[in-house]
Amino acid sequence: MTNVITGNEFITEELKKYDLADATIEQLAKDYLGLTISGVEDKEGYEKVKEAWLKTRGYRTSVEKKRTELKANALEYGRKVDGEAKRITLLLAPIEDNLVKKKEAIDNEAERIKKEEAAKKQLSNRIEKLASIGLTAPGEELLAMDDVEFFTYFNEKYDAHLEEKRQKLEKEQNKVDEEKVKAKRAEEIRKAEEGAAEQAIKDEREKQELERQNNEKLKREAEEERLREAAAAPEKEKLAAFVKALDDLHCPDMDTQKGTDIMSDALTLIAKVKIYVTTKADKL
């Protein structure tokens, strides 16, 4: 029994030709990634890194060489595959063309039968549609019309019937509409009167409610002001007593000009303090 190699198996076998196992690469990473050179003077470290680089570069260049070799084979393989496919396609073409012609002949006949049945159904539908309004027409004449022409013809014949029916319905509808308008107007007047009365009541209630809220607000503000003044009264009394104490303060006569100047400045400051305390006390 012949073993059949699939496309994936072929690719797998070809890729093995790189001859560089993942384990080898992992070992290189383990051995070399930790190498360091402490500085320009570290000759030993430099040589180790250089040696490791040369070895790693050798692996890389061998992989690139193998890649070029394998890819060249793959390109040649692709050209041969395309050529064989073209040769086989040319052999199959006459067979397929012959079968297509036979199939198309049957398809065309089936389409002809389908169209004939559709024409019969269309004729039956048009005859039935015309009969619904009491009209008839020759079958050949009906089939000769396309859909737009038939509906134009049908509508022209039907317009008189529709107009007569429309005028009758319009007369009846006008009478109904007049009654509806009268009833609607009466209802609008009733609702307007009810709405005006309800709005007047609503406005009056809103006015009363606003007045009540304003009165409550004024009372609340007055009470708050009273409580604030009552709470501030003891403090105001203390501040007033402090100002009076400043007024009653006895200032001694000074014997020197320097002492007199200092006392004058002190009195000025006391006057400013009295003004400050009095102003702030009024705002409590």
Q: Can you give the pLDDT at residue 8?
A: 57
Q: What is the pLDDT of residues 55-102, one digit of tens each?
A: 888 888 887 887 888 787 777 888 887 887 888 777 776 777 888 787
Q: Which residue has the tokens 């105001």?
A: 236
Write down the residue that tokens 């009056």 correspond to.
Answer: 204
User: Which pTM does this prediction carry?
Assistant: 0.32
Q: Which residue has the tokens 């705002």?
A: 283
Residue 283, pLDDT above cutoff 80: no
Q: Among 2-6, 140-144, 162-166, 262-266, which is the least confidently predicted range?
A: 2-6
Tell me how many degrees the CA angle 170-173-174 measures, rounded to the nearest 5.
85
pLDDT in tens, 83-92: 878 887 777 7
Percentage of the chain surpassing pLDDT 70?
Answer: 92
1 pLDDT band, cuts 50/70/90, is very low
- Residue 255 carries which DSSP code? S
3-class DSSP state of 220: helix
